[in-house]
Structure 1
């Protein structure tokens, strides 16, 4: 079984990131022998979002110039979502949050003693896109931390102490310096990048290249 790491630059309010996660899961099912480690990396679609978020309609007006263009774009995303089993409810979202605290909680969940980042990311996607919850709200984040199996007291301490905030901001800036202008972006073994929510089959050549490289660098037995 070959070890492999995928760094995923993502934002929990990015619908294409939700789709990308589902497609990565499907790709993993096509290569069941991989020992794949996922590392979630921070990217904020709206780094200048007010800390308390923004009314959804106001956000759509600012971001897209009004509801018509937004409806066109989200309609396309919703159709793709149906293909991967995501019943997006864009119309029901009341508020667009600042995602800094969500990213901080993901970073905490990714610590070795927690190991719950994948579960938390899935919970955040579900809460925002399917349940229309405000994932910038502290109490909502704590409920999702509990759903993901995190230590609730420790999660509350992380949120209340602003832990990882500078680390998240620095990582977001690093992603932009690397040329990442949108997410999701998947980087395999620090070498091979795949941008966007590509079909599952698009991951397979990257998986195969990483496997081949690992085999070529393995020490040969003398027999």
Structure 2
């Protein structure tokens, strides 16, 4: 009887979601609490706002439309900023000039899976957007992320000029809605247990441990 099969953690996320960045940090801490565990993390797409045009939208206008104005947005983001600081994330919301359509970012993450480099590209996209205020609809920014993560930026450049995997990303997003995902991050552990939101490392670790303890023998 094999006990070596990893626990698969499917993370449904959007790179323009600050709580998803926080959730990534908390998942990393959870895994540090489980040094004997073998896990495989897979990232899946979600779009907080699929209505955004491909070129994105002026962030000030986006915040006015979504929250009723910049001041209200500041109140909401104060909690996010505090939670991020606790995870050593220095959110620079004021530096972000554009709310991006994230389809192309999700394509990068999808392409990174075959190279086992999803975590690296997700990390770079989060950093570029939230701590450097970069425009994730700008091809040069996406190529910078790919290069930083160690992906083949020349191949990525060629693929970004096509519609490769756009329909697949849209289908994955629709599938997330079909299974009841209404907010992200959303963690599916071993295909059996769901954790909605950026829960504490302890909660995530406990769920992973429970999945290990109840996993059927193979």
Normalising by structure 2, we get a TM-score of 0.96
Provide the aligned length of Structure 1 versus Structure 2.
Answer: 215
Q: Residue 9 of structure 1 contacts residue 186 of structure 1 at CA under 8 Å; is this kept in 2? A: yes
Q: 1:82 aligns with which of 81, 85, 91?
A: 85
Q: Residue 108 of structure 1 contacts residue 158 of structure 1 at CA under 8 Å; is this kept in 2? A: no
In 1, Cα distance between equivalents of 2:97 and 2:147: 23
Q: Residue 50 of structure 1 contacts residue 98 of structure 1 at CA under 8 Å; is this kept in 2? A: yes
SS at 1:161 equivalent: coil
Alignment of 1:149-188 (within 5 A): 149-188=150-189
**Higher gyration radius (CA):** 1
In 1, Cα distance between equivalents of 2:32 and 2:103: 31
In 2, Cα distance between equivalents of 1:89 and 1:116: 25
Q: Higher mean Cα deviation, 60-69 or 11-20?
A: 60-69
In 1, Cα distance between equivalents of 2:31 and 2:204: 9
Map of 2:29 onto structure 1 = 26
Mapped pair 1:41 → 2:44: yes
Normalising by structure 1, we get a TM-score of 0.94
In 2, Cα distance between equivalents of 1:204 and 1:141: 32
Alpha-carbon RMSD = 1.1
Compute the displacement of 1:158 (Å): 1.9
Q: Which runs of 5+ in 1 are unaligned?
A: 219-223
Mapped pair 1:127 → 2:159: no
User: In the TM superposition, what whole-angstrom CA distance separates every residue of 1:154-199 from its partner, at most 9, and x where no partner exists?
Assistant: 2112211121100100111111111111100000011100000011
SS at 1:51 equivalent: coil
SS at 1:28 equivalent: helix
In 1, Cα distance between equivalents of 2:77 and 2:24: 18
Q: Which runs of 5+ in 2 are unaligned?
A: none
Compute the displacement of 1:35 (Å): 1.3
In 2, Cα distance between equivalents of 1:44 and 1:129: 16
In 2, Cα distance between equivalents of 1:125 and 1:26: 17
Q: 2:16 aligns with which of 8, 13, 33?
A: 13
Structure 1 stretches of 4+ with a deviation exceeding 2 A read: none
